[in-house]
Amino acid sequence: MPYSWTNDAEASPAPAQRELHLWPHQSLAPAGFAGFIAVTFVFLTLPLFALLGTVLLWGLLPFMMLALAALWFALGRSRRDAQVLEVLTLSPDRAHLRRSNPRGDVQEWESNRYWVEPLLHEKGGPVPYYVTLRGAGREVEIGAFLSEDERKALYDDLTRAFRR
């Protein structure tokens, strides 16, 4: 699951502070990215071997390399856009949510832990089973990039964490 608690509640019944780290699922590791680009390059250039020594090679080669560059750019952009990290810090009296976005800007929210209420919106949100935290006069989203099942599990974890 693309989220984890830093201090496990089962290991320590009353930890002074717990942190929940959430991040989007990365389906392609850096080594996989390099391998995919290399295999794509090989498959794109295989048909060109029949054209070696002809003028057609120079007519097709730029378009194939342009397709490879576009694929490289699209995968790199997808990877950069998924560089989101949300950290929910729960102390005995405070709840603090910090979201680091891909472009470097940071969004923060803080509330008295006693008044924070995790909410699960089955319908009506940008995604099904949308999870939010309400407190300090605001409602903030958490884990919107997770899958539907992961958001349900996150809601259960948050409900248990705020009951302690």
Residue type, 18: R
Instruction: For the full predicted model, state whether its pTM sits above 0.85.
Output: no
Q: Which two tokens stand for residue 96?
A: 């603090």
Q: Which pLDDT does position 65 carry in this prediction?
A: 95
Q: Which pLDDT does position 158 carry in this prediction?
A: 94
Q: Which pLDDT does position 15 carry in this prediction?
A: 59
Tens digit of pLDDT for each residue in 27-58?
Answer: 888 899 999 999 999 999 999 999 999 999 99
Residue type, 140: V
Please determine, for residue 8, whether its predicted confidence score (pLDDT) is greater than 60.
no
Using only the alpha carbons of the chain, give its radius of gyration.
23
Q: Which pLDDT does position 13 carry in this prediction?
A: 55
Q: Please list, in sequence order, all residues whose beta carbon lies within 8 angstroms of the beta carbon of residue 138, skipping any fewer than 6 positions away.
A: 109, 111
Distance of CA 54 to the CA centre of its chain: 47
Tens digit of pLDDT for each residue in 122-137?
Answer: 988 888 899 999 998 9
Q: For residue 14, what pLDDT band results from cuts at 50, 70 and 90? A: low
The mean of the pLDDT values for the chain is 90
Tens digit of pLDDT for each residue in 62-86?
Answer: 999 999 999 999 999 988 888 899 9
Token pair 């603090």 in the structure block, residue: 96
Please determine, for residue 10, whether its predicted confidence score (pLDDT) is greater than 60.
no
Tens digit of pLDDT for each residue in 93-152?
Answer: 999 999 999 888 999 999 999 999 999 999 888 888 999 999 989 999 999 899 999 999
